[in-house]
Structure 1
Amino acid sequence: MTETPVTDLSFEQAMKELESVVDKLERGDVALDQSISLYERGAALKKRCDEELRRAEEKVAAITLDGNGAPTGTKPVEGM
């Protein structure tokens, strides 16, 4: 079975696969070589998830309010 390149996975796909990798490693019933490969794949999946979350955070906008509390528009979230 050929693994999909991590960069081609959506956040949801990467997260689901990362959970599977963690489950396999926690069970401890895989050979050392396979454990190393799983760990490497898990690290790449974690990085992909972090990148996708960072990208989503950059798109988040804060609602701006006027003096009466009525929405006036949006502005990018600062400090992300």
Structure 2
Amino acid sequence: MNLKLQSNDSFEVAIKKLEEIVMLLDEGKLTLDETLTLYEEGIRIYRYCNRKLDNAEQKISLMMNENKVPFDFAESDDFKGE
């Protein structure tokens, strides 16, 4: 797997790359230069994933605040009697 973040990588692909980087760093078999390069790419991927999560959270918050959610989950009749 190419561990470099690509512009078309999904959140899920980025997370897999980050997990692979963490695993390689944990093994401790890399040279100092390889470690620094992977660490730098890991930080880049972490920031990308964090931005994606923040954006998703903002979208959900906007939808909830604008009453675009079709029903209140806590008061839905679908869950009564279970």
Give the TM-score taking structure 2 as reference length. Answer: 0.68
1:62 positional shift: 2.5
**Moved >3 Å (runs of 4+):** 1-7
Distance between the aligned counterparts of 1:21 and 1:3, measured in 2?
Answer: 7
Q: Is the 8 A contact 1:14 1:45 kept in 2?
A: yes
AA partner of residue 33 (structure 1) = D
Partner SS, residue 8 of structure 1: coil
Q: Are positions 1:55 and 2:55 aligned together?
A: yes
AA partner of residue 21 (structure 1) = I
Percent identical among aligned pairs is: 33
Structure 1 vs Structure 2 CA RMSD:
2.4
- Structure with greater proportional helix content: 2
Distance between the aligned counterparts of 1:13 and 1:38, measured in 2?
Answer: 16
> Which consecutive residues of structure 2, in runs of 5 or more, have no partner in the other structure?
70-82
AA partner of residue 74 (structure 1) = K
Greater relative contact order (Cα < 8 A, sep 6+): 2
Q: Are positions 1:74 and 2:68 aligned together?
A: yes
- Structure with greater proportional strand content: 1
Distance between the aligned counterparts of 1:25 and 1:2, measured in 2?
Answer: 15
> Which consecutive residues of structure 1, in runs of 5 or more, have no partner in the other structure?
65-72, 76-80
AA partner of residue 42 (structure 2) = G
How many residues get paired? 67
Distance between the aligned counterparts of 1:19 and 1:53, measured in 2?
Answer: 17
Give the TM-score taking structure 1 as reference length. Answer: 0.70
